[in-house]
Amino acid sequence: MLPLHDVHLACAELVRCVTELGAVGSFVRPNMINGHFWHSNYWNPLFAIHEELDVGMGFHEGTGPTYSHMNALYGENRFYRHVAATG
């Protein structure tokens, strides 16, 4: 995962991971970070460096241990459990 608290640090880390460690992409959470949604222009440098390096960017939310606690509220409805657990 990239240090997303600063887009420029994230860009530098992506370059390092790809060029020095052989990474083929990055993984990020879809949540708003420091007031910036992913459709904000703030992230354009990070999108651009992914394109320059020709590597992918994956978005995925993790729920952690709270997911199983949602069973009591939402039963077997995985959609509602996921929404409740991830916000």
* In the predicted structure, residue 81 carries a pLDDT above the cut 80: no
Least confident segment among 30-34, 41-45, 46-50, 54-58: 30-34
Q: Is residue 76 part of a domain?
A: no
Give residue-wise pLDDT tens across range 47-76: 999 999 999 999 877 655 555 566 666 667
Structure tokens at 69: 């606690």
Q: Is residue 24 part of a domain?
A: yes
For 72, residues 6+ apart whose C-beta sits below 8 A from its C-beta are none
For residue 23, the model assigns a pLDDT of: 97
Residue 35 is classified by DSSP as T
Q: Which domain holds residue 54?
A: 7-62
Question: pTM score > 0.95 for this model?
Answer: no
Q: Are 44 and 33 in contact (CB under 8 A)?
A: no
Q: Is residue 2 part of a domain?
A: no
Task: Give the separation between CA 74 and CA 14, rounded to whole angstroms.
Answer: 38
Domain count, the chain: 1
Q: Are 21 and 28 in contact (CB under 8 A)?
A: no
For residue 45, name the pLDDT band (cuts at 50, 70, 90): very high
